[in-house]
Amino acid sequence: MTTMLTGRRNVLKGLAATTAMTALPRAARAQETTLRWWSPQSAPLQVAAYQTQIANFEAANPGVKVVFETTSDEGYAPQLAAAFSSGEVPDIVTHLPSFAIQSYYANGLVEPFNDVIDMIGADDFFEGANDVFRAADGNYCGTGIGNSAANMLWLRKDLMEEAGIDAAPTTWDELRAAAQAMQKNGIFGAPLPYGANSMTTLIFAGVIHQAGGQIFDTDLSVALDTQETRDALEWYGAMREVCPPGATNYSWGEAITAFVSGATATGIYTGRVLGNVNAQNPSIADSVTCVRYPTKSTAIAPWTFNDFPSVFIPAQSNNIEMAKKFAASLFDPEGYIQQLHAAPGHVLPVLKSINDNPDYQNNEIIQKYPAEVELMSEAAAGGFNLGYESANHPSNEKAGEVVGSGVIAEMVQRVILNGDNVDEVIGDTAKAIEDIMKG
């Protein structure tokens, strides 16, 4: 879609001209300003925190109403596509991964965010926290509302002890052996995702890096067809023996539920595990811990997947100025800390002033698992994702489309579930990604 010289809505106009449809009245628009806020993060406590933030903002800005609406990790792409095409966009969207915004920004669908970052205080962000949001034109397309370390390896100390494992695994072989040793009495080893969904795409992109490979080279040419990708597929395939049979359809929800309910001995998720374990399955609360996900060998450094949960404002919003004001208000300590506490360790603060704020540190779960939270903060800060594979990679505007197309998850499914020829599948996948890059 590079050179679409035909004007916006041209197709629509052509259609409308053939009928008298346009004569019908358009829907009346409400008089007062209403901001629509979308987020895929909507656990009850998080929504409660959002309501505090909304109430504070509405009190300070009479005549403005903010409506929160839920989207989902697997559903936001089609929903936003429909919203953009209808022009009925939300005014602010939070917690989408950074690469999604980069794609939208490149298509002119997102408002530059520079002034909001200034309103929040550019200096207050951790060093480099906004690099991932810098677009090709030098503007920022959004900012982070938090950091997350999405592929932490969660472990059950009690089960490790029972199986005679004394150290957390650091390599693939160790992890596989540990998972095999702990797989008994109806408990499975790991809940890795093999479904046709974004979790599989994002986690497996990490596995390729953990093999020492990458999806794109530093010039953003596709670098998938490597031995590292083959190693990653081989190991990921071997791990299926220690995953529940239904892992073929797992995404985030199933993966966390499997570990929290005690059905798997290890887990792969963010810090949300801590809150869920304490609320839903307190009997294992004292036994859970986390480490960085193992790599193929100790020579390869861990690669943490941070989706850089974001805030951005769609360009078609009718209330851009108010939306910017609201976006900045999300970082006010009271509401922001409540939001972070709604899932402690899940979304980690991006502002230095918040991280150091005693109110933030004063939380039961953060204090119960200080080592884990510290480790996750550190891992997330040094984390990457498909739009930003390493510090040497430029921002990849097409990463959102690559994830949305599902080709990487499809590669996993074809090789591991269908047993298709590896070389052929990798070739097809590399070509599909190249096609997306060419647009």
Span 294-333, contacts to another protein by CB under 8 A: none
Contact present, 96 and 312 (Cβ < 8 Å): yes
Class of residue 23 by CB neighbours under 10 A (exposed 0-12, middle 13-18, buried 19+): exposed
Given the rule CB under 8 A, which of 101-109, 291-299, 332-340, 387-395 is the region that contacts another protein? 101-109
Strand partners, 35: 66
Least Å distance between CB 439 and another protein? 10
Site for another protein in 258-277 (CB under 8 A): 258, 260-263, 272, 276
Site for another protein in 182-221 (CB under 8 A): 186, 188, 194-196, 199
Q: Phi then psi for 135, rounded to 5 degrees?
A: -90, 175
- Residue ranges of the alpha helices (H) in 261-384? 272-280, 320-329, 333-341, 352-355, 358-361, 364-368, 370-381
Which one, 79 or 363, has the nearer CB to another protein?
Answer: 79
Q: Phi then psi for 295, rounded to 5 degrees?
A: -115, 175
Class of residue 346 by CB neighbours under 10 A (exposed 0-12, middle 13-18, buried 19+): buried
Q: Binding residue for another protein (CB under 8 A) from 109, 120, 159, 337?
A: 109
Least Å distance between CB 311 and another protein? 18
Site track for another protein across 330-369, x = CB under 8 A:
-------------x--------------------------
Which one, 130 or 183, has the nearer CB to another protein?
Answer: 183
d(CA 97, CA 120): 20
Contact present, 144 and 348 (Cβ < 8 Å): no
Which one, 70 or 298, has the nearer CB to another protein?
Answer: 70
Which one, 257 or 287, has the nearer CB to another protein?
Answer: 257
d(CA 142, CA 130): 8
Which one, 48 or 301, has the nearer CB to another protein?
Answer: 48
Q: Binding residue for another protein (CB under 8 A) from 315, 417, 422, 437?
A: 417
Residue 273 structure tokens: 């595990």
Which one, 89 or 351, has the nearer CB to another protein?
Answer: 89
Instruction: Name residues whose C-beta falls within 8 Å of residue 337's C-beta, 6 or more positions apart in sequence.
Output: 354, 357, 359, 360
Alpha carbon 259 to its chain's center: 19
Least Å distance between CB 351 and another protein? 23
Which one, 37 or 125, has the nearer CB to another protein?
Answer: 37
Q: Binding residue for another protein (CB under 8 A) from 60, 218, 227, 253?
A: 253
d(CA 178, CA 291): 14
Which one, 212 or 244, has the nearer CB to another protein?
Answer: 244
Least Å distance between CB 293 and another protein? 18
Residue 244 near another protein by CB under 8 A: yes
Contact present, 101 and 94 (Cβ < 8 Å): no
Site for another protein in 57-76 (CB under 8 A): 67, 69-70, 72-75
Q: Binding residue for another protein (CB under 8 A) from 147, 151, 251, 329?
A: 251
Least Å distance between CB 251 and another protein? 7
Site for another protein in 76-95 (CB under 8 A): 77-88
d(CA 310, CA 385): 13
